[in-house]
Chain A
Amino acid sequence: MKKRLFKMLVVMMAFSLIALAGCSNNDEASSSESGDKVTITYWQYTFPAKVTEIKSLIKKFEAENPNIKVVAQDFPYDQYTQKVTAAMHAGKGPDVLNLYYGWLPQYVKEGYLQPIPQDFMSTSEIEDYFIPMITASKIDGKYYSLPTAVRSLALFYNKDMFKEAGLDPDSPPKTWDELIQYAKKMTKRDSGGNLEQEGFAWDVNGQGYHAFEEVMLRQWGVTPFSDDGKKVLWNSSPEGLEAFTYWINMYKKEKLGEPLFLQGYNTAFKAGKAGIIIDGSFDITAIKDAAKFDWGVATLPVKEEGGMESNFGSYWTNGIAKGVKGKQLEASEKFIKFLISEETQKEWLTEVGELPAAASFANDESINNDPIYGPFVQGLKSAHATFFVDETKERDSITAQIDKIILNNEPIDKTFESLVKEQQEIRDEYFKNN
């Protein structure tokens, strides 16, 4: 009997041992040196064109560096920061991670990233190598990450829909008024008032709010944020509200389109159901693949013909996680060096559609004159990268406030005031804790 009891205990012990072994095994798999080969992990968010491109880049990189293995992993956009945070706390984070430049302040504050080592690339070397826009990710005089490519916004328009509506497919709208006018001609509703086709895919969440903050506000004569990024200046003059009302009324009064039509502006455009959208060059590949119609790209409209041009610039950027050191760090540096090389940047442009971030490309005629990339490069010249303190929160706030207007019919001016207040609070909160 005692024997059996003993046996039982042994079985149970074994069970718990297996359990423990299970996790320590895992540990070994994730910690990464086996022989001379170094394994590093690279995280990015799920964007099909990028995921595919990174896969092929890694193959190339591994061929060049046979003793380094790169494991790439991707997560949905809205879960990305969550997963990074979780993994960092668990000590299971990646070595190199790709992040939106707007998340940098948050990531640096939480201590997920280490500064780019000076012996790898010094601050001045970085500023010489890249176009000036990337200074937006300088925090306390240091760079924590380096981009492969940058993006700007432009109009994508459906030439077939232009023709059908009696518009000239080779003269896209130059001013916002023209855009409204053209879009109205292309918007179709059924007898019940349901949208069948939208002239302009108005939206907030995608690129819409960037177009408002950095393009329309500036064109209306308002600088959106103070130079140090601490103050929200949208309502610093009455033109701010004017620009906001103009933007909201594209949806509310002019009824050019709906944010939810076909799940979102880019799907609607790809489906051939939206005449014009504002989007970044990163969607070129997806649109090329999906669009079964003739389409074109044009620079963003201005307020009046000949008026001030403005654009929103942004980028995804690669940082090295805090705590990565030794061989791991060496390999990570090598991989980043590879990712920001001019050769990669060029390939990135054709495969993903994002524009080279290196300054040396600024005068590359073959890119500047391209009918598709040209307008984006043009836009880059007047592009501003918003200094976000917490991109997610800032976006959630603007989405929620605008939902109040479009779903609950709350007045535009009051909502604008509470929106500015909320945006200011987000900044105050960040600077208070920093």
Chain B
Amino acid sequence: MLKKKKVNGFDYLIHLVLLAGVIIVAFPFIWMILSSLKSLPDFYSFSFWPSKLDFSGYKYIFEETDFLQWYINSIIIGAIVTLSCLVFNSLIGYTLAKYKFVGGKTIFILILSTLMIPTEMLVIPWYVMGTKVNLIDSYLGIMFPGLIEAFGIFLMRQFMLGIPDDLLDAARIDGMGELKIFWRIALPQVKPALSALGIITFLGNWNAYLWPVIVISSDKMRTIPVGISLYATGDSGGIQWNTIMGMSTLAIIPMIIVFLIFQRRIVEGIALTGVKG
């Protein structure tokens, strides 16, 4: 049965169950899109379909809120943090993996031990520190905790360990500088790890909430999750469901599209970071 699989009744049953699961899992997304196209009165009693297609929620989002600005903020922050992580995490990881030096191991253990410290514990000191050096409500304030990150360092170190020393030594003999070796020789060797790290860092930042909601105060600085959350609880005149669903749709759909395009890479990247463990 294992060698030459024949599609039998049991397989159809599995498909059936999986399909049912697909409907359950995907339903909230469908509901979200449907709801974003309803007019407010459609929310006064239960309705499955919009009574008529109504784009007033979207109109409101683009005309009355800073949603586009939030989008740009999220992209900028995600991009910078990801870039910084890719460069610095891998540089640290590389150094720890490929240089034997006094204190290297201590540093590595120190970095690893920070993995145990929950972000939740750090937000209070970050906030207090941020107030002192005037980082509250600025891009840098939102980004600084993520610029270098222990898990990324660890991941990159694990991959860098796999690079044969001969390769690096050969480059050294050719007279290549140490930094160039890192940049030209080592980094290309760990491309899959880099893309995995990039993906999880970007995703994490795109969806980050706890720290941003603390550090951001002005409208213009909000990221998408913070913007949605503050908007949704903001209006005391009742919840504007169609607008909130519109915002959610706009926040999620591009992610889904990106995911569809890079599906393989993302899935493998995330699995890779998991399996390395």
Contacts and interface: CB of A to CB of B under 8 A. Distances in A.
16 contacts: A4-B178, A5-B177, A8-B179, A22-B140, A23-B140, A23-B141, A26-B134, A78-B233, A79-B230, A79-B234, A87-B137, A90-B131, A90-B134, A92-B137, A263-B239, A273-B44
A267 B233 contact: no
Contacts of A87: 136-137, 217
A90 B137 contact: yes
B44 A1 contact: no
A321 to B, nearest CB: 14
A5 B44 contact: no
Interface in A79-117: 79, 83, 86-87, 89-92
A23 B134 contact: yes
B90 to A, nearest CB: 14
Interface string B197-215: 0000000000000000010
Contact of A83 (B41, B177, B217): B217
A76 B217 CA distance: 11
B177 A1 contact: yes
Interface of B: 40-41, 43-45, 127, 130-131, 133-141, 144, 177-180, 214, 217-219, 230-231, 233-239
Given A22-B140, A79-B230, A91-B134, A283 B178 contact: no
A7 B179 contact: yes
Given A73-B219, A76-B233, A86-B217, A266 B137 contact: no
B179 to A, nearest CB: 5
A234 B144 CA distance: 51
A271 B44 contact: yes
Contacts of A26: 134, 137-138
A196 B45 CA distance: 8
B43, B136, B180, B219: residue with the most chain A Cβ atoms closer than 10 Å:
B136
B84 to A, nearest CB: 8
A4 B136 contact: no
Contacts of B219: 73-74
A76 B136 contact: no
B233 A86 contact: no
Contacts of A3: 177
B238 A92 contact: no
Contacts of B230: 75-76, 79
A264 interface: yes
A47 B177 contact: no
B180 A4 contact: yes
A411 B239 CA distance: 32
Interface in A9-54: 19, 22-24, 26-27, 45-48
Nearest to A19: B140
Given A1-B178, A26-B138, A79-B230, 17 more contacts: A4-B180, A5-B178, A22-B138, A23-B133, A26-B134, A46-B236, A48-B237, A75-B230, A86-B214, A86-B217, A87-B136, A262-B44, A264-B238, A267-B237, A270-B238, A273-B44, A283-B237
A286 B144 CA distance: 42
Nearest to B180: A4
A83 B177 CA distance: 50
B162 to A, nearest CB: 24
Contacts, number: 96
A92 B140 CA distance: 16
Interface string A159-171: 0000000000000
A380 B270 CA distance: 63
A199 interface: no
B138, B139, B236, B239: residue with the most chain A Cβ atoms closer than 10 Å:
B236
A73 B66 CA distance: 12
Interface of A: 1, 3-5, 7-8, 19, 22-24, 26-27, 45-48, 73-79, 83, 86-87, 89-92, 196, 262-264, 266-267, 270-273, 283, 286, 290, 292
Given A76-B233, A267-B239, A92 B136 contact: yes
Contacts of B218: 73
Contacts of B180: 4
Contact of B134 (A27, A45, A267): A27
A341 B129 CA distance: 42
A352 to B, nearest CB: 12
Contacts of B138: 22-23, 26
A218 to B, nearest CB: 26
Nearest to A206: B236
A23 B231 CA distance: 26
A262 B237 CA distance: 12
Given A8-B179, A79-B230, A23 B135 contact: yes
Contacts of A91: 131, 134
Contacts of A270: 238
B41 A271 contact: yes
A303 to B, nearest CB: 30
A77 B236 contact: yes
Contacts of A267: 237-239
A46 B238 contact: no
Contacts of A292: 41
Instruction: Enumerate the 7 nearest inter-chain pairs by beta-carbon distance, A residue then B residue, closest first.
Output: A267-B238, A76-B234, A4-B177, A271-B44, A90-B136, A46-B234, A90-B131
B179 A22 contact: no
Contacts of B41: 271, 292
A266 B236 CA distance: 9
B28 to A, nearest CB: 19
A280 to B, nearest CB: 11
A295 B131 CA distance: 50
A41 to B, nearest CB: 9
Given A5-B178, A76-B233, A90-B130, A22 B238 contact: no
A1 B182 CA distance: 13
B138 to A, nearest CB: 5
B236 A47 contact: yes
A19 B233 CA distance: 33
Contacts of B141: 23
A204 B136 CA distance: 35
Contacts of B237: 47-48, 266-267, 283, 286
Contacts of A23: 133-135, 138, 140-141
Contacts of B44: 262, 271-273
Given A4-B179, A87-B217, A90-B131, A266 B136 contact: no
Given A22-B139, A26-B138, A75 B234 contact: yes
